[in-house]
Each structure stands twice: as structure tokens, then as C-alpha cells.
Chain A
Amino acid sequence: MATYKPVVVQAVPKLGERITQDLVYWRGYKIDFSPVPPYNYAVTASSRIHIYGRYSQEPIKTFSRFKDAAYCATYRDDGNLLVAGSEEGAIRLFDISGRAPLRQFDGHTKAVHVVGFLSDKYRIFSGGDDYSSNLWDIPSATEIVSYNEHTDYVRCGCASKVNADVFITGSYDHTVKLFDARTKSSVMTIEHGQPVESVLLFPSGGLLVSAGGRYVKVWDVLKGGQLLVSLKNHHKTVTCLCLNSSGQRLLSGSLDRHVKIYSTTSYKVVHSFNYATSILSLALSPEDETIVVGMTNGVLNVKHRKPEERKEKSQKKRKPVYRTYVKGRTYMPKQEDFCVSKPVKRVLRKYDKLLKSFQSSKALDAVLEPPIRLYTPEVTVAVMQELHRRGTLRSALAGRDEKQIHLLLTFVARRVIEPRFTPVLVTVADMITDIYQPVVGQSAIVDRQFLRLQEAIGKEIDYQEELLEVLGMMDTLFATFTKKRATYLEENKSNGLTETAETNTNN
């Protein structure tokens, strides 16, 4: 004893981009040239440091005490102090509220591209083009230690948030070095393979990310600098790295105009942004409200995240009193009681109800109603297929007036070229032309639809032919390619053989 089974509507997976949670999240950023933060954001450009307000598009503050270009303005954790390096080799420390530098650290002989606070807040590390990385004491403005281990420009660095003595620097000599302020030399050296453009430590301090060339590499520091993953998703040099607030996502900006977002669990790209020109720097505000991107054409691109829409709390309906609500529900039937179970009522769609009672024509009418026809054409097609399966499609299609034929033909002409509907709709089109052949020429509207249908099918055939041609061309290309590879392998083999022969003779 079976119940009626509703028509199965074939779900076809959507091609193209899959909507993931990430997509939804990162799509929330819209392009907006209004700069940042209550977490004040500093932008170094040319010889100035601009600080932008959260919503205003003008700098709210500007430091212009540099003679030449300023680099790498960095905030201290508490947001009160700002430090920046400069082209002339001096490092300046500013108070956010004041204008004049509080301290100036001299010692680098060339430009300083990277500065930063250690996590104890009283020391600064820096790296310069003179290949040295230094550690400075803020109160006394003196150099604590200087490491001269790199053999090329030091262009990036990062301080550990866990240990106040540990910081890392990356250099154009292809290495990343880990320094401990308590020792006189570097603790660890990691070979990246390309000039290192950016380094990053995970909040836990255990993982290190370095970017250089087209690669982003993730290293396990605790295992002595073992390579975990090497990501090659950009096709130009990766210039900057950034982590989001939760540490779940890693962002990388590149000269190829893309910002890619990786999941830090799988290291797969989950989203990417496209920008107008090459990207030099990238920052993400805490809580991920804003992405700021600096580009080669001097434009600062700021994306704000749309505030999350609060779900409106619908007014609570007055629920029945608890006592009436549970009335009778807790009653346990006794053994001699005769239980009458309430049948579960199944809700059927309108077309299913009609199909259940074998009213094929009406069922077809039901699925040709505008909302179903327009938004869920798969339902319409599924019902058509079901009717065909029952052998009643012809009678359902027959006996319709001008308006209905017009509607049917419009639907068929529009959808027949969609691959998922083609098999069914071709039969439908066949039947319609069969049935209404005698009345062709009596109505201009219907004739026009017939012509449209013909046109659509003709176009599709041409298109398929073209595709076949392309496929043939590709086949020849592939064939030659595999052949070449085979010969190449053979050559290799012969080389190997001759080599062994040579060694034999040598012996």
C-alpha cells in the first residue's frame, strides 16, 4: 500500500561559482573611497604619513616631518604611538595627538623599509637597506643590538605576539631570519627561494607565512622551520600578506591586481578580489570591517563591509497558555485503550494533485502559470516529462487556444536550448508542431513563435557545429602533444643509457 509519490523535479547543480559562506562574507565589502578607523589607520605615501578617519574621506591628520619618503608607519598595540622608517635612514616615533616626533633613532645608513614594535611595547625593531636589522629601546632612544646577518635589503618584518623578544625579518637575500633579542645572532633561518616581500606570524606564533616571488609559503616554526604548504595562486609577485581578525583567513595581495583569500585550514583560495592596478600593500581592520589596499597608481582603495542586517524581531504572537498547550499531551495510553492515530496530512503541490487524479491537461495548465513557468522552469519540464511518461502528453498539449499555444511556444523556444531541458522539450516541440500543423497560418502571433522556435534551434545547431570543430582542432593538438612527450621520454631513456655506457667505459 503505497501513497502517491510526487513528481520528482530534477535538480541540476549550478555551474560556475559556487556560493560558499566565504563568498557571501567577502562579497559584503563594497568599493568605497572613504577611508578608515577608530582603529586609526596610517598610510605612508611619499614623505607624509596620513591618518584617515573612519568614515571621512579626507586625512584627519598628517605627519610631514620627513625629508624623503617615509615607510612602514606602524601603530603600537594601544594605538597611542606610531613609528615610521624613512628613506634617509632615520626612524621617527610619533605621538598620535602631537605633531613633532617624540624620538628619533639614528643608526641605519640607508633607507629603513620596515619598523615595528615588539610586544612588550618598549622596544622597536627595524630593518634597513644597509642589510642590518636593529633593535631599539624607546625610552633611551638607543640601539640595543644590531644584527648584520642578511646579505641583501631587509624589506619586511614581524614581531611575535607571544614572546616579547622574538621578531622575524625577511630579506631580498631569499631568507627569513628569526631573531631573539636575548642572543647575539639569529635563531633560525628559513630559505624561501625568492626575494621575500612580506612575512607574517600567526597569532599563536607557531606558524610563519612568507611571501616572495609568486609564492606564499607557510612554515612551522616550532618544528624548526619545516615547510607546510607552498601556495602558488598568483601569477605575479606577491607583495603583501595579512591575516583576518579571527585567524581563519589569510589574505595576499599581488602585482597581478588580485587579493586572494585563503582558508588557513585547507590553504585553498576561498575568494579573491580584483583591483584596477597592482597592489603594494594591504591591511584589514580589526573585526574585518574594512579592507584597505594601496596600489601602484597612488590610489588607496578602501572597502567597507556592509553592516549586518539585524533580523527584525517579529512581534511575538500570543501563544496559548502553557496549561492548554500541554493539555492531553502527557496522557499515556493504557493497555486497553484503543488508540486512534492522527493521519499525517501530506501537502501536495497543485500539479501533483491534478496528476494524482489523472487530469493531465489541467496539470499542464498549472505548471504554465507565470511564477512556475518563469522562476522554476524545471518544474514545468518535469511535469511535461511525467506526462510523456504516462503517455498523455499529446492529449494534454492538444486542444488549446491561440493564447495558450503562444504561451507554450514561447516557453519552448526560450528553454529548448538549455541542455538540461533539451531532451524533453524537443519531444514537446515535436508534438506541438504535429498537433497544430493544420492551423498554421491562421494566427500571426503563433506563426511568429514558430519562426522563433525555428530560429533558436537553427542557432543552436550552428553553435554545436562550431563546438565540434573546436573539439576536432583540440584533439589534433592533444594528439601531437602526447606524441612529442613520448618521443621526449624516449630521448631521455637513450640519454640515460648512453650515460651508463659512459660510466662503464670510465670504470
Chain B
Amino acid sequence: LQLYSSSLDGSIKLWDFMDGIPIKTFAVGSKLLALYAIASSEDSVFVIIPKSGERDTFQLVSVKLTKAAGQDLEAKELSVVLDGVDASPKRIAFGREGEYVASVKEVNLQVYFFKRKQLNRFSVSAMKTKSGNNHFTCIACHPTEDCIATGHADGKIRLWRNFCHKKEYTFSTLHWHHDAVMDLAFSVEGTSLLSGGVESVLVLWHNESDCRKDFLPRLGSAIEYISMSSDGTLCCTLHTDNRITIINSNLRFCKSIQGLIKSTDVKTGLVVDPRTKALVLNGEPGHLQFYCLQSDQQLFSLDIVQRQYIHQAGLNQADLVKVAFSAQGKWLATVEEREEVTDPELQLKLWFYDEETQSFKLNTRINTPHDDHITDMCFRDMDELEDDSLILVTTGRDCVFKVWVMVEDTDPEAQQSVSWSCDFVGSYHNYQATNCCFSEDGSLLAVSFEETVTVWDSVTWDLKCTFCHPPGKIRNICFGRLTCSKYLIGTTDYGFLCCWNLLSCALEWSAHLNVLVLQPDPLSEHIAAVSWLSKESSLFVFKPNEPRPIYIQRNLCKEKIQLAAFVPRDEPEMIGSEKYLWLRRSQLFFLTDTQELMTLSTKSLEERLTPSSKQLAVEESLPVTPFSLLLGKHRRQQSQEDTDLGKLFVRKKHEQDSPAVRELLHTPAHVLPSASFLCPIFINSLLISKENKSAEEVADEAEMESEKTDDDSDEDGDVSEMEQEDTSPTELLQEMTCKLSKSQEKELRKIRKMDYSWISAF
């Protein structure tokens, strides 16, 4: 059981997919957009490559794969089969034991017979209707007969026969879909045809002559690919929201494989459920997904909107826009809205966590809580006062913020029930309210109104003071925590990061930084700010009490980072370098524009790779059902792209304790800072070094690391344009150099060990 995969970097790999080991790599040289392997010709595969010299034209070529031994091979024997094909892998199909290949592009269908070397072209007359044009979207060939099924953008399916003649061909039309047919698949015997599209309904056509058909409706989201297993018992659909559904041959839902559900737009932001530590964000339309980061699994999906979702393009339906959890995760507040011509349809729902059923139960539903869109929402985070003084604040574009409180039912004999009602409505000079935030002890509420931040007393709802940093509207606000609770941080449109002191009511410091995301760590006083400057995102971590950032990561990624969240770790991690001390108790996750979830890792690349590759192996051996190779290829390519993009971990320099110690030992005494400042760093480094000593190999590796990072350890805090060395080739080189100087390294370490003992004697 082997598997070919192709990738955009122009290589074809042969895998043993049960063990997850690459066997061979063939280098082709140009971008490979799709890969086909057919049983009749084992030594060659077909790939789609862009035509050299021309943009947006592609050709289907066959590649001869040499049988030569060795891991990395060159495959240069290319022969063009078809010209002017479409880049999408769905638009080419191989018919009946590889006798012919059919390709569709726009309104043209071309069929090439390998034996006769004959090319037939057919076309349908282009026409535009209300539901779209009649361009071809996909193609499938009958496994035993000379029959081609094509899907069209207007929802029709055409069955072509007799296409070996140029003139006397016939076709019949089947029509059920109201939107484009996304994919087609014949059953193994060819008795029935499966089709799927945006409607998320899988249609089974029994016989082309009479229009008898079966449906499997409500599959969750639009169907992207359909494929049958080689024995015909199972069929599987791939959906646009990153999910695979496995279906029985008698159209019964069997199983679904899903990780992080991709939704069209993550409006809710990244929220952490305090109870399960799961990441909570938009899932299926109208649903909230609870995604477990450790196991990469969807824990559950909570239906918020509770309405039938109509899978049809161009309908605006209610969707979830805001989510907030109370401190203990006992209450959940959600806002859903539906864009209307006149005024938006808004609903605020409050959910109570039911211990018995282990799920959230709807407690209160508030229709049109605000007259316009709700911009922000937060609970008062007070652990000890969870029950009686829980307060929810919503801010709206209708220029007010509202305070919602829990009220108990007045009737003592009625079942003990609580509901939520509005307690206070505040406004400030008729400006739109944009953000709200409670201070850590819950005594102060900060609400930003366009250019101004107002601070309110949460008991009397009196306006305490206002802050302003013109020009520019406030984009984000947050309070400092723990030792920095007297500071309020705000960012503005014009690229300013300001920190106000609440005691003196004055601006403490400000910095010129175009901050997109401002995220405080709930467990420490650190605040992460992600900025967008000259087409790259950078991360700054700082404490509000000093304007100097603790940590800077330039060039975090090329995409815009939309959201960020700190997820508390189960137990504080041991982190060697002081640079990453801020990641000790929680982990930082980002979501980019293209919906990739990333995290910052403190471990070195090697350490991270070993477990993940193991995990990969396990994952790959999971689908033990004997899927067809063809299916596997489609899927593999897809998933590889996914992994390429999705699991792009932000690489980080692993820093060792050595700089700290060295600094301490080599700096003259009179320029050293105070002992109290040095002590924690020094003790930390001592602790780690002992651990390293116990494991000899790890230490070796660590030494290499430290050598590598020597260069840029100096300019830690500075704003440097220094590029982080990331790429694997350079790493390999450095490994070489490291090996050479190993003996010297060991000497060095011995010296340092002596130094330790000498210091600790004091």
C-alpha cells in the first residue's frame, strides 16, 4: 500500500502510508497542481503543470517515474498529453481502465483516446441564467461504459455518450441542484451517480433514464469532493469547512472526521472556555465550536441560533458575532445578528451551564438588546462574587452601553429561577461605544467611545474620568493585572499604544505602534500586542509598568493576524530562558486572516518535531479502510497543503541560560545592577543547568543551541532588524560547525561548572 503525493514545490513523493514513511522523492521541477495515477500504467503518473511562459494556462503531462534505487530521484521524462486544461483536479478524469482522458474547461469538453491518439472536442453553447452560467465545474467517467458525467455551474448534470464520434455524440441532462455541482462520482459498478454541491445535500441518481433519486440532506456545509471506496461500501464527502463525512452505500450517515471547523469569518474572536480550557470560536453557521488544543479535536458544537440554516448563496442568515464567558464558565453570553436592510435583527442570549447534562442551557433571550450592532461584550470577572454580582456589559453602535444583571424571580413560590434584565444604560456625548473592559477587581468599567475612554464606577455607575489620545479612535482597551492593575492600556487607529495611570489620571507613556490585537494574559501582568507594519505582523510583549517591551518577535507571519488568545497551561511549564518567562503559565495562540491557527513555542525545532512526527505517523495509520489510491492522492495533496499552511509553527530561537550566567561572570562588578535584580535570573539559570547536566545528550544539544544564538543574544531588547535564521539549510551547516568544535565546547562547560561551585560556595 503505497501512495504518491505531489506538491507545489515540484516533487512527487512515494509514501508508505501505513507507517508514515516517505520511500522515494521524485523531483519534477515545476509546480504540480494535480496528480493522477491510473492502474493500467504503473510506471508513469499524470500531473498538471503550468505551461511554461504563459500565465494561467495549464497542461496535463505524463511523468515517467524511474525504478532506480535511491531516495531522491529526478524525473525529467515529461510528455504532454493535453493542452489547455483547467488547474482544478476535479476537471480531469480518466475513463474506463485508462483508455481515454476527459478534461473540461469553461464550456469545452475534450476527450483524448490514448490508443488511437485521437482528440475529440465538444462544447455546450454558453448561456447565462439566473442561477449562473453553464460552465463545466467537474467531470467523472463511468468505470465500465463509455459515459462521461459532467457537472455545470447552473446545477445541471450532463451525461455524454457516444463521444468517440465527433458528430454523433449524445447527451442527456439531469437537474436537481440549484447551485453549481461541486463534484460527481460514479459508484463502483457504475449503476448510480453521486453528486453534491453548495446545498450540502448528497444526491444519489439511480438511473439516468428515469429521474429516481435519493437524498442525504443537511450534511453541514457545502460538499467539495466526493469519492467512493474501491469496494463500493463506503462513500466519503469532503466539505468546505474542513471536515470529512463517511457515508454508507445506502446513504446512511456513518462517521465524520473533523478538527477545527473553518467558518467563513471568525467574528466571535478567540475565547477560552474557563471550564475546559478549550478554544471557542465560530464553527458551523450558527454554532459555537469548542476546540481542544491539546488533542486537536472538536469537543462539541453548541447550537446557538437554533434555526434551520439554508445552504444557498446570497442569503444573509443569522450568525454568531460575540461570545463571552463568565469567570468560572458558568454563564455564557452570545450575540447573534442578521443583517437587514432596515435594522439588524439582534439577539442576546444567556446560557447557563447545566452540571447534570454537562452542557449549556438557554436561560434568557433578549431581542434587540441594542438598536444597532453590538461592538463588544464582557462579563465582570470576579471569582469570589460569581453568583450574586455577575454583571454583563454590552456596547453598541447605537451610542450606549448597557449593563445587564441577573434578577431572581420575584415570586417566592415559583421555581427558583433567575433571568437577566437591563440595569443601567450609559452614554457619552452620543459617541458610538466601541469597547468595554472591567478592571481585575471588578470595581471599574472602562468603555471606549470613539476617541475617548471613559471609566465608570461599577457600583454607582458614575462617570469617574475620561482619557483621550487624539487623533484616532480607540481600537482596543484593557486593564493591567496583578501588580500593574493601576494601568489602563489603549490603542488607537493612528497607531498609538497608550498607557494611562488610573491613580494620577494621566498618561504614563505612549508608543507609536500600529497595534491590531491587544491581548492581556489572564494569569500574569503581561500584555501581548500584535502590530501590522509593512506587510508583516510583529509581536510585542510588555508589562504596563514599563514602556520597554520584554519580548519582540519581528516577522511573525506574512498574513494579518486577526485575533489572539492566551490559553492557560494545565501546569506552569519550566522555561529556561528569561526571554520566554512570560509564556510560563499560558500559551499564546493567533488566528490569521486566512484562518490559520498558530502558536508560539518555546521548544527548539528538533524537540518539537520528534513528537509531532510520531503523532503524524499515528494519524496516518488511522484510516485503515482501503481507500482507493486515487482518493488518497486527492486527499493527500489537499491535506498536505493544509498542513503546510495550517501547522506552520512560528519558529523560535531557543535560548539557553548561558548568556545570563556569562554576563554575570564576565562583567566587571562595578557595572553590575543591584543583586536583588540579578538574583532571580541567576537562580533560574542554576536550576536549569543542573537538569541539563543530568542528561548528557540534551546538554550537548543545548550547547549547540547556545552557540547558535550567541550572535543575536546581545540585541535582545533592542528593536533590531536582524533576521531570525529559520531555514533548515543554515541549520544543517551550523550543525556541522558545531560538531567540529565539540571538544572545545566540552572544555568550556567544564570551566563553567567549576565556576558554579565557586559561586555557590559563597
Within the complex, the shortest CB–CB distance from A236 to chain B, in Å, comes to: 25
Bound complex: CA A391 to CA B341 (Å)? 13
Known: A20-B414, A390-B315. A1 touches B218 (CB 8 A): yes
User: What mask results when residues 10 to 28 of chain A are scored 1 for a CB within 8 Å of chain B, else 0?
Assistant: 1000000010111000000
User: What mask results when residues 333 to 347 of chain A are scored 1 for a CB within 8 Å of chain B, else 0?
Assistant: 000000000000000
List residues of chain A with CB within 8 A of the CB of B303.
5
List residues of chain B with CB within 8 A of the CB of A8.
306-307
* Segment among B405-413, B495-503, B635-643, B716-724 that sits at the interface with chain A: B405-413
Interface residues on B, range: 20 to 34
Within the complex, the shortest CB–CB distance from B361 to chain A, in Å, comes to: 16
Residue pair B412, A1 in contact (C-beta under 8 Å): no
Bound complex: CA A423 to CA B310 (Å)? 22
* Segment among A66-74, A197-205, A262-270 that sits at the interface with chain B: A262-270
Residue pair A21, B413 in contact (C-beta under 8 Å): yes
List residues of chain B with CB within 8 A of the CB of A355.
308
User: What mask results when residues 410 to 447 of chain A are scored 1 for a CB within 8 Å of chain B, else 0?
Assistant: 00000000000001001100000000000000000000
Name the one of B245, B253, B412 contacting A263, with C-beta atoms under 8 angstroms.
B412
Residue pair A391, B315 in contact (C-beta under 8 Å): yes
Residue pair B412, A265 in contact (C-beta under 8 Å): yes
The winner among A1, A5, A270, A426 for most chain B CB atoms within 10 A is A1
Within the complex, the shortest CB–CB distance from B727 to chain A, in Å, comes to: 44
Known: A10-B367, A389-B317, A391-B315. A5 touches B410 (CB 8 A): no
Within the complex, the shortest CB–CB distance from B338 to chain A, in Å, comes to: 7
Residue pair B308, A4 in contact (C-beta under 8 Å): yes
Within 8 A of A (CB), among B281-318: 303, 306-308, 310, 312, 314-315, 317-318
Name the one of B220, B306, B317, B410 contacting A268, with C-beta atoms under 8 angstroms.
B410
Is B256 an interface residue when CB atoms closer than 8 A count as contact?
A: yes
Residue pair A4, B218 in contact (C-beta under 8 Å): yes
List residues of chain B with CB within 8 A of the CB of A263.
412-413
Within the complex, the shortest CB–CB distance from A91 to chain B, in Å, comes to: 42
Known: A10-B367, A389-B338, A391-B315. A5 touches B413 (CB 8 A): no
List residues of chain B with CB within 8 A of the CB of A423.
342-343, 345
Residue pair A1, B306 in contact (C-beta under 8 Å): no
List residues of chain A with CB within 8 A of the CB of B367.
10
Is A3 an interface residue when CB atoms closer than 8 A count as contact?
A: yes
**A contacts with B, residue count (CB < 8 A):** 26
Residue pair A5, B307 in contact (C-beta under 8 Å): yes
Bound complex: CA A355 to CA B256 (Å)? 27
Is A2 an interface residue when CB atoms closer than 8 A count as contact?
A: yes
Bound complex: CA A389 to CA B411 (Å)? 38
Is B219 an interface residue when CB atoms closer than 8 A count as contact?
A: yes
Residue pair A390, B310 in contact (C-beta under 8 Å): yes
Bound complex: CA A179 to CA B623 (Å)? 90
Overall SS of chain B's interface: loop
Instruction: Determine the residue in chain B with the shortest Cβ distance to A426.
Output: B342
User: What mask results when residues 11 to 33 of chain B are scored 1 for a CB within 8 Å of chain A, else 0?
Assistant: 00000000000000000000000
User: What mask results when residues 713 to 749 of chain B are scored 1 for a CB within 8 Å of chain A, else 0?
Assistant: 0000000000000000000000000000000000000
Residue pair B414, A268 in contact (C-beta under 8 Å): no
Residue pair B220, A2 in contact (C-beta under 8 Å): yes
The winner among B256, B367, B413 for most chain A CB atoms within 10 A is B413
Instruction: Determine the residue in chain B with the shortest Cβ distance to A265.
Output: B412
List residues of chain B with CB within 8 A of the CB of A7.
307-308
Residue pair B412, A389 in contact (C-beta under 8 Å): no
Bound complex: CA A18 to CA B419 (Å)? 16
Name the one of A1, A4, A266, A390 contacting B256, with C-beta atoms under 8 angstroms.
A1
Residue pair B412, A3 in contact (C-beta under 8 Å): no
List residues of chain B with CB within 8 A of the CB of A4.
218, 308
List residues of chain A with CB within 8 A of the CB of B412.
263, 265-266, 268
Bound complex: CA A7 to CA B312 (Å)? 18
Within 8 A of B (CB), among A387-412: 389-391
Residue pair A389, B410 in contact (C-beta under 8 Å): no
List residues of chain B with CB within 8 A of the CB of A391.
312, 314-315
Residue pair A2, B218 in contact (C-beta under 8 Å): yes
Within 8 A of A (CB), among B222-274: 245, 253, 256
Residue pair A3, B310 in contact (C-beta under 8 Å): no
Within the complex, the shortest CB–CB distance from A253 to chain B, in Å, comes to: 23
- The 19 sampled A-B contact pairs (Cβ below 8 Å) are A1-B218, A1-B220, A5-B306, A8-B307, A20-B411, A20-B414, A22-B413, A268-B412, A270-B411, A355-B308, A389-B310, A389-B317, A389-B318, A389-B338, A390-B310, A391-B312, A391-B314, A423-B343, A423-B345
A interface list, Cβ under 8 A from B: 1-5, 7-8, 10, 18, 20-22, 263, 265-266, 268, 270, 355-356, 386, 389-391, 423, 426-427
Nearest 4 A-B pairs (CB), nearest first? Answer: A1-B253, A266-B412, A5-B308, A2-B218
